[in-house]
Copies of this chain bind each other. A is one copy, B any other.
């Protein structure tokens, strides 16, 4: 992963402000919209079955996130994903809490079957549950390290034909025959709600400008991690961290990426 390629994607996002359509959870709607704006993209949140096809057709990426799932949202996700596939718009799926309840695991598995995503971005527990590899989840937090989910991620990538991005202290991104690890980030990131969902949303922005979903996923995790390190240096706690994280996404320069 070259610093100059990460930077090139970031410059493209800032120049083109791609529209990213999110059908996501209530907890993170505000924070992921703000992260997308801070990085230079243009977010829209819309979930009504009456409008998701029309909305996604205007967008350059679709982000699906099952964090506060309920039945009416599943149909909207399905419709939007089918339309996105028909139009060649990349889909990023976040299987929040998969493994915690059967409802979530079943829903995500059926989404993956009916309208396969381009990229799945989850934590180790979620990826293992989704691949049927067991593993336990503690609510929406992972009970395993990302490396433990490597075999599951590879199996999922093969069976679904998608990139799998496993976040953790080290992020592991897997495509059919490639692996890349991202070592950026900071423990404070686990003390802010929805930073995993933010990683998913930013992956959507990168997929909008980079035709390689594998590189898009890796670059997004790198920018997340670098912004996290920049923010942690000036944040005594998770409140100031959130503020400084958005500022870091907005202020990040080529040098911040190269000097990592």
Contact = CB atoms under 8 A, between A and B. Distances in A.
Interface in A64-112: 67-72, 97, 100-104
A46 B238 contact: no
Contact of A193 (B33, B193, B238, B245): B33
A3 interface: no
Interface of A: 19, 21, 25-31, 33-34, 37-38, 42-48, 50-51, 54-55, 58-59, 67-72, 97, 100-104, 138-141, 190-194, 235-240, 242-251
A43 to B, nearest CB: 7
8 nearest A-B residue pairs (beta carbon): A239-B246, A237-B247, A44-B139, A33-B193, A237-B250, A51-B101, A51-B103, A239-B243
A193 B44 CA distance: 10
Contacts of A97: 44, 46
Given A48-B70, A237-B248, A247-B240, A141 B33 contact: no
B47 A70 contact: yes
A138 B55 CA distance: 10
B138 A19 contact: yes
A87 to B, nearest CB: 16
What's the number of copies of this chain in the assembled complex? 3
A200 B141 CA distance: 22
A111 to B, nearest CB: 15
Contact of A45 (B29, B55, B68, B191): B68
Nearest to A235: B247
A29 B244 CA distance: 21
A79 to B, nearest CB: 13
A144 B213 CA distance: 32
Contacts of A190: 37
A33 B100 CA distance: 17
Contacts of A138: 19, 42, 58
Report which residue of A44, A58, A71, A251 has the largest number of chain B beta carbons within 10 angstroms of its beta carbon. A44
A30 B27 contact: yes
B55 A71 contact: no
A244 B239 contact: yes
